[in-house]
Amino acid sequence: MAKAVFAGNGGQASFDRVYGAERIADLKRLAAFGDGVVTEEDFFGHDLSETEYIFSTWGMFPFTEEMFVRLPRLRAVFYAAGATDKFAGPFLERGIKVVSAWRANAVPVAEFTVSQIVLALKGYFRCLRETTQPEAWRKPRFAPGVFGETVALIGSGSISALVKKLLGSYTLEVLTVDSLPERRTVSIEEAFRRAFVVSNHLFNGENNQKCLKKEHFLSMRPGAVFINTGRGQQLDEPGFIEAMKARPDLTALLDVTWPEPPEKDSPLYTLPNVFLTPHIAGSIGGEVRRMADFVIGDFKRLLAGEPLENEVTEEMLSFCPAAVRKK
């Protein structure tokens, strides 16, 4: 029988939340698991010499060379969460497979984003902050509506693709800033200029940090809206704040920041045209069980000798649209 462990700094409570008793029992019918959860702190107190598979979720820690020495038989890591850029590289370099529930986590993020896009096109967020007295009812609505409008998606990964698919039921022009020339419809500069709503879905990587800059926001259409469910590091925050002060007609919906939460004195808390949510777009509540289902499904495929559906590749870790690479 295959040998496996649960590992992560979230402890047993994290696994109970994401996997649940039923799914944990299912895994234990497929593999022999060590006792408890292996954490970064107590890693060297466990005998992992026979371990072939690691199951984790949020709280997965990066491995050191000394840790890999203790895992000579490790074949794959199954990560029931989304982004793996903080830990996956050293595993892939050693030929150890990494499976992530990134496609599962894409579903709630895409649903969240589409709801914000539709409300933004109706001017909901600007009306929300400006409808403070009777006279506001007679003001223009500062929004074009949904029919025939233009939306831009920055990035072309699984979330962006699903957002575009869900927007297919609306009469919209959807622009995509893509890393591959044959799929690219617009540059990042044109996307910001043309679209009434710009939504960021870039993969998090060193090459695209602080790539969304002041000039991009200053070029946006009157009353336009920016949505960020990607990563806060991708925003050049000082320049972004300057742009939002200079353009009070714009609206920004930030589900991610850097750091998280923003510092206590950050202008993001007080700018009237910036709406903050505490990183809720991804899987929450019962949605987290979908992530467990995705990695358990791939574990069963691996045991059966079938192709994996959610394997992480080195190309995925290095993804960055050429138009926004650091110079």
261 preceded by cis ω (within 30°)?
Answer: yes
Residues 244/250, Cβ–Cβ less than 8 Å: yes
- Same structural domain, 94 and 158: no
N-to-C CA span, the chain = 51
* Mean pLDDT, residues 36-55 taken together: 97
- Same structural domain, 100 and 70: yes
- List, in order, residues 6 or more apart from 28 with CB less than 8 Å away: none
Q: What confidence score (pLDDT) does residue 140 get?
A: 66
- Same structural domain, 252 and 293: no
Q: What confidence score (pLDDT) does residue 322 get?
A: 39
- Asked if residue 321 belongs to a domain, the reply is no
Neighbour tally for 307: CB within 10 Å: 8
Model confidence at 109, pLDDT cuts 50, 70, 90, reads very high
- Separation in Å, CA 149 to CA 34, 195, 221: 55, 8, 12
- DSSP state, 228? E
Name beta bridge partners: 254. Answer: 228, 276
- Same structural domain, 94 and 49: yes
Model confidence at 319, pLDDT cuts 50, 70, 90, reads very low
pLDDT tens digits for range 175-225? 999 866 566 678 999 999 999 999 999 877 777 889 999 999 999 999 999
Residues 88, 21: Cα–Cα separation, whole Å: 27
pLDDT tens digits for range 88-103? 999 999 999 999 998 9
pLDDT tens digits for range 235-248? 999 999 999 999 99
- Asked if residue 302 belongs to a domain, the reply is yes
* Mean pLDDT, residues 138-150 taken together: 86
- Asked if residue 42 belongs to a domain, the reply is yes
Name residue, tokens 């022009």. Answer: 173
Number of domains into which the chain is organized: 2
Confidence (pTM): 0.85
pLDDT above 70 for 226? yes
Q: What confidence score (pLDDT) does residue 184 get?
A: 67
pLDDT above 50 for 259? yes
Residues 225/200, Cβ–Cβ less than 8 Å: no
- Same structural domain, 21 and 115: no
Q: At what angle do helices 288-303 and 20-30 cross, to 10 degrees?
A: 10
Q: What confidence score (pLDDT) does residue 141 get?
A: 67
pLDDT tens digits for range 77-90? 999 998 898 899 99
Taking only Cα atoms into account, the Rg of the chain, rounded to an integer number of angstroms, comes to 22
Length of the chain: 327
- Domain hosting 93: range is 2-104+284-315
Q: What confidence score (pLDDT) does residue 324 get?
A: 40
Residues 30, 291: Cα–Cα separation, whole Å: 18
Q: State the CATH number of the domain containing residue 115.
A: 3.40.50.720
Comparing CA positions, the residue from 296, 327, 309 lying closest to residue 4 is 296
Type of residue found at 223:
G
* Mean pLDDT, residues 40-58 taken together: 97
pLDDT above 80 for 294? yes
267 preceded by cis ω (within 30°)?
Answer: no
